[in-house]
């Protein structure tokens, strides 16, 4: 069987780390992008290698158009292909409308939305030459429902949904599929800091009465990256335990 390669942005921690490991367990070579902790990225790559696959780390700010272009070229050179791209990099800079600083709005849009565009833009050229590929963009139920104090984050994640649908239409003729995952509350470092009151409030609107595990998200990513989802494109799949029904 031909060895395939997945590139996961923001692959050092949380959901990104789980996605990288899930693909490694399926036999994919793994390129781990990071921009913060090199130690965390190395740990992810090491765990992937324990599954018997090749893994390398790549430092790059996804908001930097030229740096992303160089990263994609390097990954393609190192592994021979980019079969699956998972755009997982993202940040939050929460605040109410009248208190939000312009730079906090801009930074979230730059990394979450423009970063996703940058990665798709440069990976697409490689995938078009291959005449195959799967692109998975990480959105959020917040991008569908909105949320008080997260208008910048919600705007970036809603933008990813529109980006996903448009790019899916453009790339379908080249056998490249583009889908989005919209998680609800997930058990990560980000949600561990929630107060008991905040957790209870969240749980009250989740039909399954629990937060997602990172593996709940990773399992869907692997499915969307595989040939088992070969007739699925342009979709946003909510993994929220029934929160947004």
Pairwise CA distance, residues 44 & 20, whole Å: 7
When pLDDT is averaged across residues 73-95 and rounded to a whole number, the result is 97
Catalytic residue among 28, 34, 58, 153: 153
Q: Which residues of 22-58 are buried (b: 16+ CB within 10 A; e: fewer)?
A: bbbeeebbbbbbbbeeeebbebbbebbeebebbbbbb
Residues 131-142: tens digit of each pLDDT: 999 999 999 999
Q: Is 28 one of the annotated active-site residues of the chain?
A: no
Residue 84 has pLDDT above 70, yes or no: yes
Share of the chain above pLDDT 70, in %: 100
With cut-offs at 50, 70 and 90, classify the pLDDT of residue 1.
Answer: low
Entry pTM:
0.96
Q: In what order do the strands lie in the sheet with 84-87?
A: 55-59, 29-34, 5-8, 84-87, 133-138, 176-183, 236-239
Residue 210 has pLDDT above 70, yes or no: yes
Question: Which of 50-54, 62-66, 135-139, 195-199 has the weakest average pLDDT?
Answer: 195-199
SS (H, E, C) 9-23: CCCCCHHHHHHHHHH
Q: Please give the angle made by the CA atoms of 110, 114 and 120, to the nearest 5 degrees.
A: 150
């Amino acid at each position: 069987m031909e060895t395939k390669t997945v590139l996961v942005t923001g692959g050092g921690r949380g959901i990104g780390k789980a996605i990288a490991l899930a693909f490694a367990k399926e036999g994919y070579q793994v390129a781990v992008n990071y921009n913060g902790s090199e130690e965390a990225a190395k740990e992810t790559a090491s765990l992937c290698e324990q599954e018997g696959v090749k893994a390398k780390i790549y430092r790059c700010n996804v908001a930097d158009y030229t740096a992303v272009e160089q990263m994609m070229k390097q990954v393609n050179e190192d592994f021979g292909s980019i079969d699956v791209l998972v755009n997982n990099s993202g940040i939050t800079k929460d605040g109410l409308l009248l208190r939000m600083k312009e730079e906090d709005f801009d930074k979230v849009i730059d990394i979450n939305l423009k970063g996703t565009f940058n990665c798709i833009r440069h990976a697409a050229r490689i995938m078009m030459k291959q005449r195959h590929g799967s692109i998975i963009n990480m959105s959020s139920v917040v991008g569908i429902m909105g949320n008080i104090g997260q208008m910048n984050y919600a705007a970036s994640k809603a933008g990813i949904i529109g980006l996903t649908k448009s790019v899916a239409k453009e790339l379908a003729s080249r056998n490249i599929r583009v889908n989005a995952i919209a998680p609800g509350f997930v058990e990560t470092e980000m949600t561990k800091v929630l107060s008991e009151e905040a957790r209870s409030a969240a749980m009250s609107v989740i039909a399954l009465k629990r937060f997602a595990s990172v593996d709940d998200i990773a399992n869907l990513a692997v499915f969307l990256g595989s040939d088992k989802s070969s007739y699925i494109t342009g979709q946003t799949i909510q993994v929220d335990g029934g929160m947004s029904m």
